[in-house]
C-alpha cells in the first residue's frame, strides 16, 4: 500500500491541488520554522505537491526551494507557478539530492511511508541538514498504520510512537525544538520541529 502513494497522487493530482486548504492552518508552524532559517537560504520541501500553499509561503518569505514530489503532474504545476525555483519528480526515499540545506520540510508527506522507511528517511534528512538547520514534519499521534480514503480511493498513513521518533532523532543528531500532540490549530496533526545539532 505505501508504494501506491505516488500513483494515488498522480491519478488525483488536479483534485488534490484544487482541494488543498488555502486557509493555510499550518502557517504558524511554518513561520516558526522560518524563524530558524536565514533569508535567502536553500530549503528542501519533501512532498511539495503543486507548491500551494506551503512552498509559496517559503518563497514569499525570501527563501529558495528545492521541491520534491513523486507526482509528475503536481511537479508540473509547481514548475509553472514558480519557475525560478527547483523542482524534482522523485520518490523521497531514493531521490538523488546532494549538499546541505538550511531547513527541510515534510508536511503531510513523511507519514505516507511505512515505519521502516520513515526511520531511513529521518537518517537521510539528518545528513541533508546543515548544522543548526530545522526539520519540520507531522505525524499521527502514536504508533500505527491506517488506511483511510481520499477521492474514493484508499490512502495509507503510518506513524511511529513519539518515543521511537525521539530515538531516531538522537541517532541522526537532531535536537527537539517543539512538539504538539494533535494540535487543534493544525487540523489535529501531531507536529515535530527539530534541528540538526551544531
Model-level pTM? 0.90
Whole domain around residue 109: which residue ranges? 2-196
- Best CA proximity match to 185, nearest among 32, 60, 42: 32
**The CATH number of the domain where 126 resides is what?**
3.40.50.150
Query: Positive or negative CA dihedral for 105, 59, 79, 154?
Result: positive
pLDDT mean values, one per 10 residues, the chain (198 residues): 59 61 81 97 97 95 98 95 98 96 96 94 98 97 72 74 98 98 92 97
Strand segments, DSSP code E, in 107-185 are: 134-139, 144-150, 153-159, 174-183
Q: Are 107 and 136 in contact (CB under 8 A)?
A: yes
Residue 82 CB neighbour total at 10 angstroms: 20
Tell me the three state secondary structure of residue 64.
strand
Hey, what's the cell of 142? Answer: 502514536
- List of residues 6+ apart from 193 with CB closer than 8 A: 29, 32, 33, 134, 135, 136, 176, 177, 178, 179
- Residue 167 backbone phi and psi in degrees, to 5: -65, -40
- Residue 43 backbone phi and psi in degrees, to 5: -120, 150
Q: State how many domains the chain has.
A: 1
Amino acid at each position: 500500500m505505501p508504494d501506491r502513494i505516488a500513483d494515488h497522487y498522480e491519478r488525483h493530482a488536479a483534485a488534490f491541488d484544487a482541494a488543498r486548504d488555502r486557509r493555510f492552518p499550518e502557517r504558524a508552524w511554518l513561520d516558526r520554522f522560518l524563524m530558524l532559517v536565514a533569508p535567502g537560504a536553500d530549503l528542501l520541501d519533501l512532498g511539495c505537491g503543486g507548491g500551494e500553499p506551503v512552498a509559496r509561503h517559503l518563497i514569499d518569505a525570501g527563501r529558495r526551494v528545492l521541491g520534491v514530489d513523486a507526482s509528475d503532474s503536481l511537479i508540473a504545476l509547481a514548475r509553472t507557478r514558480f519557475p525560478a525555483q527547483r523542482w524534482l519528480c522523485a520518490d523521497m526515499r531514493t531521490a538523488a539530492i546532494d549538499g546541505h540545506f538550511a531547513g527541510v520540510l515534510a508536511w503531510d508527506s513523511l507519514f505516507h511511508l511505512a515505519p521502516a522507511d520513515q526511520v531511513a528517511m529521518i537518517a537521510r534528512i539528518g545528513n541533508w541538514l546543515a548544522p543548526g538547520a530545522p526539520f519540520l514534519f507531522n505525524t499521527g499521534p502514536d504508533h500505527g498504520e491506517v488506511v483511510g480514503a481520499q477521492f474514493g480511493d484508499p490512502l495509507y498513513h503510518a506513524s511511529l510512537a513519539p518515543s521511537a521518533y525521539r530515538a531516531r532523532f538522537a541517532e541522526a543528531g537532531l535536537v527537539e525544538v517543539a512538539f504538539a500532540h494533535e494540535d487543534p490549530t493544525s487540523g489535529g496533526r501531531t507536529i515535530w520541529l527539530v534541528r540538526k545539532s551544531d
